[in-house]
């Protein structure tokens, strides 16, 4: 079979790597891909939102199935476009992807279906929002309604900071129309965890748990990033808690959407805050997390093509999904300056050495070729992933591999997975 993966980051490299192990897959295409993906897949230079060209590619190359990595094409209706043409694709339709693309939709949906989440209010008027923030005590959370590349959430420690965030979002329109409405939300305390599931609209199968590291520097200091590293499993999500999350969050979401006439197929990601053994939803993502996908797929035993076809054909209950007992840790190597401005085109060395270590796989995120060299081409450059008998062993091996890699300005956190080890 032939399969197309849409996207070109670390998450997509992990998906391609796993698909390459499938007994069904003869050829993988990736649009647009990156230098690492190019080793296993044919990279095609088509934009992730160019649905007409992507459908044409699938038609002319006789591609059997498409898997979508990032949220943007999902929120713009890529699944609707493919299904209109009778093409198999894994991901939610546009109406279902609103769970991620509109935080107002998501919060109102959770309220309707009694899914645990922080108290909130929605504002479309700046003055009303400011009055409300001044009335409430800090800390308080401000969220732009629409997609803002992970930057639309401000956890404000003071009222002034919250007011500044409202100004930037609603008046200066820093995120454009994504800031037409804002949510002002109660600030929750506790420990965060990521919980992803596969679903075909009725059957829901959990993946192993994971934990991202959003801040750029050690000890969770500095600004938020796309994610600086992840580990799996996340010990905060005990098996008992996982059942609670399935019962109180995932089943009510999939059933609630179905009652509202929306079938959710694909991957659903719940960002959770856990306090005193109780989960509360911070956000939903309508796709796999990046970098969580890297350690999670490193632990998947079952053929990913089998799972993907079962989702598309709505027969997920027919297959058994199995995971390795091993733990996995992924460390993100970033460009100097990220998440702010950074330079590109730095030559990367040590890839072969790092990949040669036992249990290690270096997933590429922002990489490209230049004159036979692999060079940096994005903020997050590599996701050095290792498996081991436990988190400690996986962490040691991942850092050993990271130490073999170099490019000018490289920086990475030195404390990935410590939270799991210091519990």
| Residue 212 near ligand GLY by CB under 6 A | yes
Question: Applying CB under 6 A, which of residues 185, 200, 292, 303 lies at the interface with ligand GLY?
Answer: 292
Is residue 192 at the binding interface for ligand AMP, with CB under 6 A as the rule? yes
Nearer to ligand GLY, 123 or 198 (CB): 198
Interhelix angle 94-101/103-112, rounded to 10 degrees, is 100
Q: Say whether 287 sits in a helix, a strand or coil.
A: coil
* Residue 227 binds ligand GLY (CB under 6 A): yes
Which residue's CB is nearer to ligand GLY, number 96 or number 374? 96
Judge contact between 364 and 36, C-beta under 8 A.
yes
Site membership for ligand AMP, residue 161 (CB under 6 A):
no
Contact 295, 326 (CB under 8 A): no
Q: Give which of ligand AMP, ligand GLY, none residue 409 binds (C-beta under 5 to 8 Å, depending on kind).
A: none
When CB distances are held under 5 to 8 angstroms depending on the partner's kind, the choice from ligand GLY, ligand AMP, none that residue 350 binds is: none
Q: Are 310 and 93 in contact (CB under 8 A)?
A: no
Distance CA 49, CA 56 (A): 13
Stretch that binds ligand GLY, among 15-23, 59-67, 286-294, 311-319 (CB under 6 A): 286-294
Among 30, 31, 67, 141, indicate the residue that binds ligand AMP (CB under 6 A): 141
Q: How many CB atoms lie within 10 A of CB 48?
A: 20
CA atoms in the 13 A half-sphere facing the CB of 345: 3
Instruction: Tell which one of 97, 147, 153, 178 touches ligand AMP (CB under 6 A).
Output: 153
Residue 289 lies near ligand GLY (rule: CB under 6 A):
yes
Q: Look at residues 365, 361, 366, 371 and name the one whose alpha carbon lies nearest to residue 329.
A: 361
State whether residue 25 is helix, strand or coil: coil
Q: In degrees rounded to 5, what are phi and psi of residue 184? A: -110, 125
Residue 319 site contact among ligand AMP, ligand GLY, none (CB < 5 to 8 Å, cut-off depends on kind): none
Question: Which two tokens mark 25?
Answer: 């897959």
- Tell me how far apart the alpha carbons of residues 344 and 74 are, in angstroms, rounded to a whole number: 28
How far is residue 35's CA from residue 39's CA, in Å, rounded to a whole number?
7
CB of 11 to ligand GLY, least distance (A): 7
Sheet with strand 120-123: strands edge to edge: 120-123, 182-186, 140-144, 153-156
Is 290 a binding residue for ligand GLY by CB under 6 A? The answer is yes
Q: How far is CA 246 from the centre of its chain?
A: 19
In this chain, which of 20, 57, 138, 187 binds ligand AMP, going by CB under 6 A?
187
> Which residue is closest to ligand AMP by CB?
283
185 is a site residue for ligand AMP (CB under 6 A): yes
Among the listed ranges 112-120, 121-129, 287-295, 393-401, the one in contact with ligand GLY (CB under 6 A) is: 287-295
Which of ligand AMP, ligand GLY, none is residue 396 near (CB under 5 to 8 Å by kind)?
A: none
Among ligand GLY, ligand AMP, none, the one that 227 touches (CB under a kind-dependent 5 to 8 A) is ligand GLY
Q: Are 188 and 276 in contact (CB under 8 A)?
A: no
Q: Which residues contact 321 (CB under 8 A, 6 or more apart)?
A: 198, 205, 300, 302, 307
303 in contact with ligand GLY (CB under 6 A)? no
Is 285 a binder of ligand GLY (CB under 6 A)?
yes
The nearest distance, CB 319 to ligand GLY, in angstroms, is 25
The least distance separating ligand GLY from the CB of residue 315, rounded to whole angstroms, comes to 28
Q: From the list ligand GLY, ligand AMP, none, which binds 292 (C-beta under 5 to 8 Å, kind-based)?
A: ligand GLY
Closest distance of CB 42 from ligand GLY, Å: 26
The span from the CA of 154 to the CA of 152, in Å, is 7
Q: How far is the CB of 213 from ligand AMP (least distance, A)?
A: 10
Q: Residue 73 and residue 50: Cα distance in Å, rounded?
A: 9
How is residue 383 written in tokens?
């996701």
Rounded to the nearest whole angstrom, what is the least distance from the CB of residue 415 to ligand AMP in the complex?
Answer: 17
Between CA 43 and CA 39 the distance in angstroms is 9
List the single partner that 285 binds among ligand AMP, ligand GLY, none, CB under 5 to 8 Å by kind.
Answer: ligand GLY
Is the distance from CB of 410 to CB of 336 less than 8 angstroms? yes
Among 166, 188, 360, 365, binds ligand AMP (CB under 6 A): 188
Instruction: Give the residue with the Cβ less far from ligand GLY, 307 or 332.
Output: 332
d(CA 193, CA 199): 19
> What is the contact surface with ligand GLY in residues (CB under 6 A)?
212, 227, 285, 289-290, 292
> What is the contact surface with ligand AMP in residues (CB under 6 A)?
118, 141, 153, 155, 185-188, 192, 214, 271, 282-283
């Amino acid at each position: 079979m032939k399969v197309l993966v849409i996207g070109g980051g670390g998450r997509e490299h992990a998906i391609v790597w796993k698909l390459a192990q499938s007994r069904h897959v003869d050829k993988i295409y990736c649009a647009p891909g990156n230098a690492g993906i190019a080793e296993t897949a044919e990279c095609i230079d088509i934009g992730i939102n160019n649905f007409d060209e992507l459908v044409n590619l699938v038609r002319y190359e006789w591609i059997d199935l498409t898997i979508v990595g990032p949220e943007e094409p999902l929120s713009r209706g890529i699944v609707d476009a493919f299904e209109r043409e009778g093409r198999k694709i894994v991901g939610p339709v546009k109406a279902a992807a609103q769970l991620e693309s509109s935080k107002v939709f998501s919060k109102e949906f959770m309220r309707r279906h009694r899914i645990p989440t922080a108290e909130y209010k929605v504002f479309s008027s700046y003055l009303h929002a400011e009055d409300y923030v001044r009335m409430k005590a800090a800390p308080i959370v401000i969220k732009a309604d629409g997609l803002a590349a992970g930057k639309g959430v401000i956890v404000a420690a003071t009222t002034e900071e919250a007011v500044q965030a409202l100004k930037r979002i609603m008046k200066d329109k820093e995120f454009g129309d994504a800031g037409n409405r804002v949510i002002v939300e109660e600030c929750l305390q506790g420990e965060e965890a990521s919980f992803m599931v596969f679903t075909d609209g009725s059957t829901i199968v959990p993946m192993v748990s994971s934990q991202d590291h959003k801040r750029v520097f050690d000890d969770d200091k500095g600004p938020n990033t796309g994610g600086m590293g992840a580990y799996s499993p996340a010990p905060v999500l005990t098996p008992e808690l996982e059942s609670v999350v399935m019962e109180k969050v995932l089943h009510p979401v999939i059933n609630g959407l179905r009652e509202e006439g929306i079938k959710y197929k694909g991957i659903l990601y719940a960002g959770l805050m856990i306090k005193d053994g109780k989960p509360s939803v911070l956000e939903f993502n309508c796709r796999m997390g990046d970098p969580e996908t890297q350690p999670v797929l490193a632990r998947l035993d079952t053929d990913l093509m089998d799972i993907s076809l079962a989702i598309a054909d709505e027969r997920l209950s027919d297959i058994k999904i199995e995971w390795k007992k091993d733990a996995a840790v992924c460390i993100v190597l970033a460009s100097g300056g990220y998440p702010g401005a950074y330079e590109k085109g730095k030559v990367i060395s040590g890839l072969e050495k790092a990949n040669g270590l036992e249990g290690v796989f270096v997933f590429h995120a922002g990489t490209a070729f230049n004159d036979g060299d692999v060079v940096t081409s994005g903020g997050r450059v590599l996701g050095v992933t290792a498996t081991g008998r436990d988190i400690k062993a996986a962490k040691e091996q991942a850092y050993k591999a990271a130490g073999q890699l170099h490019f000018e300005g490289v920086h990475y956190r030195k404390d990935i997975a410590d939270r799991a080890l210091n519990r």
